[in-house]
Structure 1
Amino acid sequence: MSQTYTVPPPPHHNEGKTVAAWTMNMGIVIGSIPIAAGLILPEMTVLIWVGAAIVVLAILAGIVMSKAGLGQPKKYGHPVSEAVAVAENRPDEAPAEAGAR
């Protein structure tokens, strides 16, 4: 008796290197520079608030970009949107013996 099993898709392998992650990371780094300057320089406490605003905007930009599809896929092995799946011509599920050779 022949049986066909469906194996789970492999995890998405980009190690978190997405546009949303890089944007948020760079915004936090850039925002920490005025915060550090505001802590060091006398009478420049306004820089602390400017840096904090940059950090908050960077975090919000990262979240919005992730929701827009520029972050990690929500399901392993599946693209973020159906348009990407159609563009790649990938079937949603393949039999186990299809990729076994």
Structure 2
Amino acid sequence: MSSVHLEPQDLPDIAPHNHGKTTAAWVTNWGLVLAALLASVGIAIPVHALTFAGIGVAVVALAAGAALRALGHGQPLS
């Protein structure tokens, strides 16, 4: 049994109803999954061009997610 007692005011706010279910979240997530796959295969084989391609895909995925969020396809900042 835990000895920690949390009061209601100590709990975080409830996540919005669409948390993680936006276009920006999906594009960023799948882009980073692809980037990790490319980079890990590039490290395992080793093929440096594939590793750097994975890093490049990660940068593009993060930029695309930020752009989609700025265009209103992501979670609001409020």
TM-score (norm 2): 0.75
Structure 2: tracts of 5 or more residues without a match: 1-14
Of 19, 28, 33, the residue aligned with 1:29 is 33
Which residue matches 1:74? 77
CA-atom RMSD, angstroms? 1.7
Q: CA deviation at 1:45?
A: 1.1
Identity in percent: 36
Counterpart contact for 2:37–2:54, Cα < 8 Å: yes
Q: Could you say which structure has the larger radius of gyration?
A: 1
Task: Please state how far the C-alpha of 1:47 moved relative to its aligned partner.
Answer: 0.7
Structure with a larger share of its residues in helix: 2
Which structure 1 segments of 5+ residues have no match? 1-10, 76-101
Choose from 12, 17, 21 the match for 2:16: 12
Q: How many residues align?
A: 65
- Maintained 8 Å contact 1:27/1:58: yes
Structure 2 letter corresponding to 1:34: L
